[in-house]
Structure 1
Amino acid sequence: MDKDKRMQVVMGLIMAGGNAKGSSIAAIQAAKKGDFLAAEKNLTAANQALNQAHNVQTEMLTQEAQGQKTPVDLYLVHAQDHLMTAIAFKDLAQEFVDVYKRIEENH
């Protein structure tokens, strides 16, 4: 993979992670206001962004398995870190939405 293509992939991972985290934050904020439809839509958007990133990672892993080595540099490390943080944040956002739903049901 040439350098330009690789940077597109890295930036795609960073953008997907950022989009997923942003949607997760929006889901928590919506649930806090009692707007569970918006919360669920935002969680769906977060999952879609993470699925896009997962597809990119799968392609990279497939290329690696086929002998096409991926150079690991700070850009790729940052992209992976950003993505893993977004995944954890989305999981926590789902928990927050569930808690807010439970609180709403008990009032």
Structure 2
Amino acid sequence: MTQQTTETDIITLITSAGSARSLVFQAIREARENRDFPHAEALMQQAKEMLSAAHWIQTQLISLDEGEGKIPVTLALVHAQDHLMNAVMLTELGAEIIALHQQIAEKPKDKTVFFRIRASD
């Protein structure tokens, strides 16, 4: 793997993770604003595919490094890892947020929910 290939892989990792993040936010908005849960799920599936592509690149970089520092730790690589970590976390949280929106949408409209606020003891 050449330095140019590594840089290209890092950029691809950043863009794939960024695309996954954007797709998750689109899915959450689709669930919240339009209650279109099948479309939200389709967007989440696209996000997972983008994450899979990013994770594959990460795995290749790790295997090439072999824990011996063969891949230089550049600011771009750290940035890529940050994007990937955030996209993974957002995908997990996004699925939970969409599930909550779906549960709320399925509640009967005639029921009122009351929340009790307790004073601290």
Extract unaligned runs of 5+ from structure 1.
none
Aligned position for 2:75: 74
Aligned position for 1:24: 24
Residue 65 (structure 1) shift: 2.1
Q: Note the alpha carbon deviations across 1:37-86, whole angstroms, 9 max, x for none.
A: 11000100110001001111111122122867110010100011011111
Aligned position for 2:47: 46
Runs of 4+ residues deviating >3 angstroms: none
Counterpart check, 1:104 vs 2:105: yes
Aligned position for 2:7: 7
Give the structure with higher Rg (CA). 2
Distance across 2 between alignment mates of 1:93 and 1:47: 11
What amino acid does structure 1 have at the position aligned with 2:86? T
Aligned residue pairs total 107
Normalising to structure 1: TM-score of the pair? 0.93
Provide closer, same or farther for how the CA distance between residues 106 and 9 of structure 1 changes in structure 2, counting only shifts above 3 A.
same
Instruction: State percent identity of aligned pairs.
Output: 34
Distance across 2 between alignment mates of 1:58 and 1:79: 13
What amino acid does structure 1 have at the position aligned with 2:10? V
What amino acid does structure 2 have at the position aligned with 1:64? D
